[in-house]
Structure 1
Amino acid sequence: MAASARRIRSQASPASHPERQQETRRAAARPELHVVKSEQADSASSQDRLRSFIEWTRSHTVPVIQVGIAIAFLGATAVGSLTLRTQMAENSFDSQQTEQQIEKLQQDIQTDQTKLDSLQASLPQKAQDMGMVPQQDSVTIDLNGYQPSDGSK
């Protein structure tokens, strides 16, 4: 049945039927539509628009509540995202400052270590200049076999 209806429509053309030719002529002769502005519509104040919006919200409470919840959710996510991004930027800045301080302290340590090494290297010469003599023999004490006396307990 669908095949026969299709075949009938496929054979129909506007040129074959005089009624269809008249319809196409009427459609072609129809004037174009254009927008005409009313002066009353232009002079409508924002108060009138606000009143109509309030009336609409009173008659459609469920959609207004849903829209309000959606707007509140979007606002909360925007504020949350902004807060997180701000916190991440602060953490990044603090991290960079800490790394710079660590590098500065490491440089200070290296400078102090260099000074210490130079002072240790010059120590024997300064001791000899003061009249000190380097130690020749060293004495060591081995306490591995030490036994404390009974009176010391």
Structure 2
Amino acid sequence: PDSGLTARKLGEEPMVVVAAPSYLDARGTPAKPEDLRSHDCLLFNFDPSRSRWPFCSQGRRTEVHVSGRFTANSGEALGMLAVSGLGIARVARFAVEDDLAAGRLREVLPGDTIDEGHEVHALFVGGDPIPARVRALVDFLADRMGTR
């Protein structure tokens, strides 16, 4: 309220666990969430819970404590590290969608639903009324995320 900024929720993006085929060929593919404990995981460096990845496996919530040698502060960076074969990343699907489609990454543990997604918001300057060009952009983004 004190910033003069306006936020609008655009949607929620599911999280996926991904790795490069080269990493999986060299280290093996985890068969269950607990197997991640023995893998190099790529972690967000700004999230205090970055080393606990939540899953909902067979209707039961579990958290797996993971570790790794590399951290980054964006999903795009974690995706690039994963494409390079440096480990397994847990990121928002939109950050790695192209790499999944091109085969540069594979989804790991696709049968285990990850228990949470990340909210995506538009944050902009402007109060009431919102400038038409800003409203048009935010409406367009909301349409793309399916929340309009």
| TM-score normalized with structure 1 length | 0.15
Question: Higher relative CO (CA 8 A, sep ≥ 6), structure 1 or 2?
Answer: 2
Task: Select the structure that is richer in strand.
Answer: 2
| TM-score normalized with structure 2 length | 0.15
